[in-house]
Each structure stands twice: as C-alpha cells, then as structure tokens.
Amino acid sequence: MKIVRTDMGIETPRLDEKLMARGHELVLLPDGVREDELCKEVSNCELLLMCYTPVTAKVIAAAPKLKGIVKYGVGIDAIDIPAAHAQGIKVVNIPEYADETVAEGAFAMLIALAKRIPALQNEMQSKSWAWPRSEWIGSDIAGKTLGIVGCGRIGSNMARMAGAGFRARVIGYDPYKSRDEMAGKGIEKYDDLTEMLGECDFISLHAVLNKETKNLIGASELAAIKPTAFLVNASRGALVDEMALLKALEEKQIAGAGLDVFSQEPLNKKDHPLRRLYWMENVILLPHLTFYTAEAMQRLEAETLERCLEIIENRTVTIKSTDPRLKK
C-alpha cells in the first residue's frame, strides 16, 4: 500500500519504520507542500497522514484509492471532512496523546508570567543582575483565581494542577459541561463568560475551535479582564481576536499573555500582523510546541500506528474524539 505522510519536519521515526517494515511504500512530503504537488502524490495512495498541511476537497478528489486520512495530532480544521466522508474516506485524529503535556506547557507559561521570568531573564542577560525593585515584583498563584475557558481533558488537567497543586481557586466557562461535571473536576462553573473573565487573575484557553468559538475572546471580553490579569492560550490562535489582544497589551489593558498558538503560523519578525509581540517583555511566545515532549511523541506515534493499521486492515476505526465532525 502506498502511504503519504505530509509535514515530514515533524519527526516520527518509530511510526515510519514500522509502516515500512510491514512492506508499505511510504512517501514523505515537506511542510508547506503545494496543493498541486500533494494532488499528484495522492493520486495512487490509499492512506494519507497529515498534521498541518491542508487536505482540501481538491486533494480528496484527486485520490480515488484513498481509504483514510489520519491526523497525527488533535486539530482537524485543515481537513475537508464532508468531502472525505462523501467519498467514503475515514477520517480520524489522535486527541488524547498530550492532554497533560499541553496543560503542563500552559501552566509553565502561567508561572513564568506570574514570576516575571522573561523580563528578569532579559535583565540578567543585558545587565548581569536585577535588584528587588517594584518593576520586578511578581505575584503568587496560591489564593488567586484561575479561569479556564473550555473544560475538557486539557482544561481539566490545568484545573487539577492549579487547584490541588497551587491552592488556586478555579472557575470555568464551558456551555457543554454541566455544573456537576465541572464541580467534580474542581471547577466552579460560570454561565456568563464576561462575568467569569472579570473575576480572574489568570485565564487559560482550552476550547475547541469551531464557528461558535472563533474570536470568542474579542475586544469586549478583553475589556472585562482586570489590568493585573494574564491570558494564556495553548489551544487555538483563532479563539482570540488577535489584533484586539495586541491592542490590549500595547495599551496595558491586561498584564501580559503567554501564547503558543496563532491564527497565522509561523510567526515572523518581518511582516506578520503580530510581530510587535516579539518586543514585549510581558509576553511569552512559543512556536506551537507545548505538545512536544519525548513522552507525548511516543504516545502519538504508537496511537497513530494503531489507527493506520485499523484502516489498512479494514477494521473498525477507533474514534476517540468527541468532535461531532468526525461522526458520520
């Protein structure tokens, strides 16, 4: 069987070796492969593995033998799922491999913001030392309020770390979770997002991106946040109106932000709309890598292989995601 894997910059050596050891032809394509090149490669392939590269209706139409599309990761926005399902093509993702990993990454940004670590590191590098003046004063997490937007697996792990680990009060907004379900995870449910935001010292976004959640945090929501509060986003960039966030940071409407995800990736210092963030000491920028640990990658490769074998062997494909788009 011919298998195509895009985004070869993400190294998955165990997965690649095991597929080839079973006698399959594996074609690796670079990040950012053009649509016409992808169409050419999938014309005779039966299984497509992708991470970031868009799988459009045109790509799907060019692949008459295609049996399945495996997203080796979580987000499925880059796949035209209706077009795939219309052709009888199975679509599956790997949603659980990095739940705690991403929560840890988000919490690392939260701690770094609270303790002024980026600014202090810059000061140490430029002046060798920093004396205890008011400009360097940080804040505790214990006793503060963390608001979580999206209280699924990652958000719940974040709640556990903050509540049980740091004795923070944890509140949350998630219209799809019941009050009892959230209380069982140590989260006090708020039905009104703006009201919740106004209570928070720290806010962490973990919602799924869809039509309802795009730009969920806009100018009016940012205006409701206390000027001493920090915003962390390790979910999807488009959950936030990013230009409104940039304005809020420049005008000191909020204290700072930790960002691992962006609507337009990758960032760059030349012409990206958010390039001014690079020079803000109260902002942490990460390159969409809070998921990227040795342990998480081992889990990702192992589970991706399982989903591939289910498709190759015509077995029932395990769908662990609760995203309704994956349910035919």
The class (CATH top level) of 99-285 is alpha beta
Distance CA 115, CA 14 (A): 39
In this predicted structure, what is the pLDDT of residue 322?
86
pLDDT in tens, 268-315: 999 999 999 999 999 999 999 999 999 999 999 999 999 999 999 999
Token pair 């210092």 is found at 269
**Do the domains at 2-95+294-326 and 99-285 have one common CATH topology?**
yes
Distance, in Å, from the CA atom of 91 to the CA atom of 81, rounded to the nearest integer, reads 7
- The total of other beta-carbon atoms located within 10 Å of residue 224's CB is 18
Which of 3.30.465.10, 3.30.70.20, 1.10.10.60, 3.40.50.720 would CATH assign to domain 2-95+294-326? 3.40.50.720
207, 149 contact by CB (below 8 A): yes
The tokens of 276 are what? 């001014």
**pLDDT tens digits in sequence order for the chain, 328 residues long:** 999 999 999 999 999 999 999 999 999 999 989 999 999 999 999 999 999 999 999 999 999 999 999 999 998 989 999 999 999 999 999 999 999 999 999 999 999 999 999 999 999 999 999 999 999 999 999 999 999 999 999 999 999 999 999 999 999 999 999 999 999 999 999 999 999 999 999 999 999 998 999 999 999 999 999 999 999 999 999 999 999 999 999 999 999 999 999 999 999 999 999 999 999 999 999 999 999 999 999 999 999 999 999 999 999 999 999 888 998 7
pLDDT computed for residue 55 by the predictor: 98
For the chain, give every domain's residue range. 2-95+294-326, 99-285
Q: Which tokens hold the place of 28?
A: 């690796």
Q: Which helix H or strand E contains 202, and what residues bound it? A: strand 202-205
Q: Give me the DSSP letters along 64-129.
A: TT--EEEESSS--TTB-HHHHHHTT-EEEE--STTHHHHHHHHHHHHHHHHTTHHHHHHHHHHHS-
pLDDT given for residue 78 in this prediction: 93
Position 44 scores a pLDDT of 97
Residues 328 and 322: their CA atoms lie apart, in Å, by 12
Overall residue count recorded for the chain in this entry: 328
pLDDT at 323: 87
Residues assigned a catalytic role: 236, 265, 288
